[in-house]
């Protein structure tokens, strides 16, 4: 994709482009651009939820905190209360690039929490 503004892309100009580059690499392996995007989207959803579970597990290792219990309760109530959760972007309007970016951000956060384990909870939150 061109690095500059392309009129033909419309609102797609503001989307992160690196997800599409990775999907194009999958396309080379798989042989289908559409299937490459689907594989990348599926991997992003899996990685996103892995990162969320890793963060919850990490916090639970320290102390089963109120924040962890509230997050687990919110995840449990999301479907009955019809709150959108991660992955909904792929089903409703196929925000492929956004979910890839969300997955990468949450993975960075999960890795940082693992590395900052020696810090106290207050110091981790302050950073």
Which pTM does this prediction carry? 0.66
Residue 1 has pLDDT above 70, yes or no: no
Quick count: other Cβ atoms within 10 Å of Cβ 56? Answer: 19
Cβ atoms 48, 126 nearer than 8 A: no
Greater confidence (58 vs 50) lies with: 50
Tell me: the pLDDT tens digits for 73-82? 877 887 788 7
Q: How many CA atoms lie within 13 A of 43 on its CB side?
A: 14
The pLDDT-based confidence of 125 (bands split at 50, 70, 90) is low
Tell me: the pLDDT tens digits for 37-51? 888 888 888 888 888
Give residue limits of the domains in the chain.
7-126
């Amino acid at each position: 994709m061109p690095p500059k503004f392309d009129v033909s892309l419309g609102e797609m100009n503001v989307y992160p482009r690196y997800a599409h580059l990775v999907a194009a690499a999958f396309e080379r392996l798989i042989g289908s651009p559409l299937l490459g995007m689907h594989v990348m989207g599926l991997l992003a959803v899996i990685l996103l939820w892995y990162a969320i579970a890793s963060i919850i597990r990490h916090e639970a290792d320290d102390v089963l905190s109120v924040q962890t219990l509230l997050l687990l309760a919110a995840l449990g109530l999301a479907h009955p209360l019809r709150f959108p959760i991660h992955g909904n972007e792929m089903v409703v309007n196929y925000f492929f690039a956004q979910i890839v970016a969300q997955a990468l951000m949450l993975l960075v956060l999960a890795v940082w929490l693992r590395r900052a384990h020696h810090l106290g909870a207050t110091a981790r939150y302050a950073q």
